[in-house]
Every structure is written in C-alpha cells, then in structure tokens.
Structure 1
Amino acid sequence: MSTVEQAHTSELVSRDGTRVAVYRWDPVGVPHGVVQIAHGMGEHARRYAQTAAALNAAGFVVYANDHRGHGATAGDPSRFGAFGEDGWNRLVGDIGALVETVREAHPGLPVVLLGHSMGSLATQQYLLDHSGRVDAAVLSGSTALDQLAAAIDLDQPLELAGFNAAFEPARTESDWLSRDEAVVDAYVADPACGFGTDIPSSKLMFGSGTQLADPQRLAGIRSDLPLYVVAGDQDPINAGLALLNLLVERYRAAGLTEVTVATYEGGRHEILNETNRAEVVADLVAWLDRVLGAR
C-alpha cells in the first residue's frame, strides 16, 4: 500500500446552512476516476486515509465527508450521534451535494460512490432517486435495513457495543469491527469514534428501511448501474450473510444486471480495515477497472 498522504480539506455548505467537512486525497499523475466515500456510524472520514492511499495508487482521486453528527462536521463532541432535524434525509442530501461538487471538479471522469455501514445505507437511499448521477456504486458492510431494524429497540439510544455480542468474551467492546487488533485499538483510542446515535436520529435512519425494501422504489434504479457488494461473513449486521443475500436478491429482482458480490471468510464489519485488507482493496480495484473501463 502506498504512503498515506495528508488530505486536502474544504467545506461544503448544505442547503440548511450546515458546514460539512470534506477531504480529498489526490493520486500522483492524471487520475482516471473518482471514488467518493460515505463513512459509517461512530467514526469519521479521515479513518479512510489508508483506503484512499490504495485507491490513489490505482489512479483514483478520493473524496469523503464527515456526516452530520460526526467528525469535524459535528464540531463539538456533545453533538456526536445527533443528526438534527430531518437529519438523516439531509445527511443523504449532503452525499448528493458532494457528488455534484465532484462531478463539477472532475468533468469527464467516472464517479463511484462507496458507502460503508451507515454510509452504505445512505448510499442505498441516494440510489433510489439518483442512480444516474454516479457511474458505479459500492456497498461495504451493508445489510437489509428493514430486517435489521426489527431486531433493534428504537426507543433507546443506539449503542454500537451491542454488535459485539457474537465475539464475547472479547478483548474490547469493538472487536466486532476487525480481527486486526491495531485497527481496533486505534478506534477505541480515537475520541471521535465509538458513539451511536440518539433516538430521533436512529428512528429516522431505520425508518428509511421501508423504502429501501420497496420493489417499486428499487425499480427506479437504473438497471445497468454497476454495483459491488462487499462484506465479511462474520459481520454481525448481516446475520451470517443472510441479510446481505436478501439485499442482493432485492436488487437483482429490481432488474439490476451488473451486481457483483464479494464476501471474505472470517471478515468482520470493517472489511476495508481487516487483516486481509490488501486483498479486499485489490479485488475492489480490479472490479472498478473492469466496469469503468467498459464505459
């Protein structure tokens, strides 16, 4: 993996005036594509610097933003996990606004939207109405949200430690993220990581699961959208791949013809931060080169 470069930082001002922190990592030489990353819950975009470095080495410019209630966009730790009024839909809107910013900054280059975990759920929602604005999409650590919601008490704040149950007795409450202890320890030590969402934000996010499962809404996604679904088979949010398989079945039933699934034995939730991450990213880059090279 190439040397990690310092990200260029900027801001995107949303329609409601929220100042969204944006990061950009540039490759050496002329890029042949752009990957925009939507990060997960209880973390921030700068955690993707290593993934960005690998994608830079493959010739991609990489963008990512800190979501509402996260990282520099939240600003103060007291606001971590709180999306604000209609915050989930506005979070999805921020992703769309960054897509448009990226397209304007890099005319002619293919744009790929890569969402991880919560970011993959936001990506699922974005694609319902805007699949024509991206050239490909990647869902990492994703799930069928409506089915996951059925197992969660939405009248309580969402605590991420609850996903660690399958790994108890565990070294930390975050062992569910990766088999790489250094990754887990860095996450635990990071004051901008490890939180869940408040009750209003959780209800908005999980409430979107109904439309994500609606065949009529899914039929609005363009059928030729290249979609890459990647996960570890030990990721607790996909229930032993059962919910991941359901998600894929729904896309295929909706008419998507270019759906590729990559699963990794023993992999946990953060497949891009797993012990075999070099293999995971190499497979992703090979897929990107294949589907974008044909466009």
Structure 2
Amino acid sequence: MPRLLIVLAALALSACTPLLVQHPLSPPTAFSGPRLEDDAVVSFDGARLGLKHWDPVGEPWAVIVGVHGMNDYSNAFHLAAPWWASQGVATYAYDQRGFGRSPERGVWAGEGLMTEDLRTVTALVRRKFPHAIIAVAGESMGGAVAAVAFASDRPPAADRLILMSPAVWGWKEQPLPNKTLLWFAANFTAGKVYEPPRWLTSKIKPTDNREELIAMGRDPQMIWGARSDALYGLVSLMSDASDAVGRASVPTFYLHGAHDQIIPKAAAYRAAAHLKPADRSANYAKGYHLLMRDHEGPIVWADVLAFIRDPQGPLPSGAPAIPHSPAQGAEIARASGAL
C-alpha cells in the first residue's frame, strides 16, 4: 500500500498542481506608472518593491540589475556592489515580491509576476542609463527568474545575462520522496511554514564566510523557512529555469562553485551543458553557493566585471569552464559522485 500511494502521488504530480496563493494586483488608479525611487521600485502594477542601489562617482559605464535568491533580498549584493561602484559600475538590486521589504512577504508570487517585475526594473534602469551596458545578474532563485525571463518572447532589455549558482534543481532531478511529500504538503497544508531542522542547517554551508552568515542570521529582512506552496512554486520555477538556460539571445555567463551544497552538481551541470558555444561559464574550485559572499568573492566580482566589459575576453580568475555539451556534463557529474 505505501508503494501504491507513492506511485499515485507521482502520477498526480504530472497532472495536477496545487492552488498557489496569488499576489493581488494593485488597482490601475493607484499609481502613475512604473518608476525608480531612492529606496523602491514602483513596478508595472503599482506594487512597491524594495530597492538598494550603489552608484559610482560620475556616469556609470555599466549597470547591474541584481536579482536575489530565495528568502534573501537586495542586500545579497552589498559586498560586491561597492567594489563594482569603485570600478565605475552601478548596481540596482530590488526585493522580489514576497521577500525583503516588498509586498506579501513569505507568499510565492509566481513566475509571471516575478519575470514581469524583472522586465520592468530592467526597462527603468535602461531608461535611466541609456548609454550604459545593462547586465542582469541573478543569484540562485534570482538566476532562475532571470533565465526564464530571457528565454521568453519578451526578454528584459539588457545586454548581458549573469547566472550565479542558478537554481536549476527541478522536478526531473528531485527524488521521488521529495516530489511526493511536496505535492501533498502544497495541496493540503499550503499555508504552513516549514523550517529546515537544525541538524540539516548545521551540515549545509551556503558560504564559507562565517561572519556573513552570522550577519544574515541577525538581519530582520531575511526569511527563515518557507510555505509549502512556495516550495512547490520554487521547484516548478527551477524546472523551467533548467530548460531555459542557453536560450537567451544575449551573452550569458554561468557561475558555479565546486562546493555548492544547495544545488546538486548533477543538476547544475545538466543546465550548464545547454549553454550556447559563445556563452561563458566558470567553475570555482573553492566556491560555495553564495559566490558573491564567499571569502574568495572578490575573484568572482572581478570575473563578472570582466565579462560585462568583454564577454569573450579572459577571466581574471582563470577558472575553468563547465563543459558545454550534455554528454561531457553528465560524465563529469558522474565522476564527481553527483549522479
């Protein structure tokens, strides 16, 4: 009987999705159009999204639109952005819906709203800096949102796409017990918040920067735990992102840390294997999931800057590329014990 229940649940996964809580759209009369403010972005529907920006002295030659990861917020860029500013590059990072200072905190917004927000923010940045190179840099979940948006028929108005440890651990790579439990939880306890057990969090290191982890733990804007329907939505987003990698029309840079304990190596390599021949990738031997916050983060910052300046130029780190063919990617993942 338990096996039968698992099989039935697996079949249900392919035919039914849970009813996710939807973010309400603001009334059309509630705002005068999308705009950038000092500490907020007014998006396409009037929603106010939290904003942090770091500007160089004088006009920037490039601007990075920063898209943070799950349960994080725009502060994810607080270490890299000041250095980029010292190099003449501005960073405009916003809090995605449901995170940080943005509306419906803790509630999953869905791909449609999240990608439309990215299009809106990028268009506003393009309007503000018409002569600058515009690059979208997404970390983890933010990388998934960016990958999906750039693969759509309405990609953001940017010149570069940077995927930092993108969340690409979709349904295909999820073990059957994960799929089954998540489906039941999302359907029957959609609003319940689940927090990872301490024994698990003590074993998983998102970064080797202990001081930064402590600061994140004390930051009231961070979210710890997630609703079951949000987790379901995240895995669905990761599935779409895995399929979307390599479909952007702009130069793409895929960054991966060899010590990433959040996104399994097999999933990361499978997605990276779909990059176009002209796209770039880097595999950092000492890197973890939060590459910008690692102790070797400055190496990553410099590589990102070099790619923005010249997508085909050398990377200061000299980090090796991830294989760009599915066969090579699977072979390396298998050799590393990831498959």
- TM-score between both structures, scaled by the size of structure 1: 0.79
Q: Distance in 2 between matches of 1:103 and 1:234?
A: 35
From 292, 299, 302, the counterpart of 1:282 = 302
Q: Distance in 1 between matches of 2:239 and 2:207?
A: 29
Please show how residues 15-94 of structure 1 align to structure 2 within 5 Å. 15-74=44-103, 79-84=104-109, 87-94=110-117
Identity of aligned residues (%): 21
| Alignment coverage as a number of residue pairs | 265
Q: Distance in 2 between matches of 1:221 and 1:61?
A: 23
Q: Who is 1:142 aligned against? A: 166
Gaps of 5+ in 1: 1-7
Q: Which has the larger radius of gyration?
A: 2
CA change 1:185–1:212 in 2 (3 A) is closer
- TM-score between both structures, scaled by the size of structure 2: 0.70
Structure 1 stretches (4+) deviating beyond 6 angstroms? none
Q: Distance in 2 between matches of 1:250 and 1:123?
A: 16
From 81, 104, 121, the counterpart of 2:144 = 121
From 199, 204, 220, the counterpart of 1:191 = 220
Q: Distance in 2 between matches of 1:91 and 1:163?
A: 30
More helix by share: 1
Letter in 2 for 1:221: A
Q: Distance in 2 between matches of 1:115 and 1:273?
A: 14
Give 3-state SS (helix, strand or coil) of 1:62's partner: strand
Deviation at 1:213, TM superposition (A): 4.5
Q: Distance in 2 between matches of 1:163 and 1:282?
A: 35
Q: Distance in 2 between matches of 1:96 and 1:163?
A: 37
Tell me whether 1:105 sits opposite 2:132 in the alignment.
no
Deviation at 1:107, TM superposition (A): 0.8
Deviations 1:251-280 (A, max 9, x none): 3xxxx2322111222322101100111112
Deviations 1:20-43 (A, max 9, x none): 122221101231111110001111
Contact residue 164 and residue 176 of structure 1 kept, 8 A: no
Please show how residues 159-174 of structure 1 align to structure 2 within 5 Å. 161=196, 165=200, 168=202, 170=203
Q: Distance in 1 between matches of 2:219 and 2:76?
A: 10
Contact residue 208 and residue 294 of structure 2 kept, 8 A: yes
Letter in 1 for 2:170: D
Contact residue 143 and residue 238 of structure 1 kept, 8 A: yes
Letter in 2 for 1:279: I
Gaps of 5+ in 2: 1-36, 186-191, 314-339
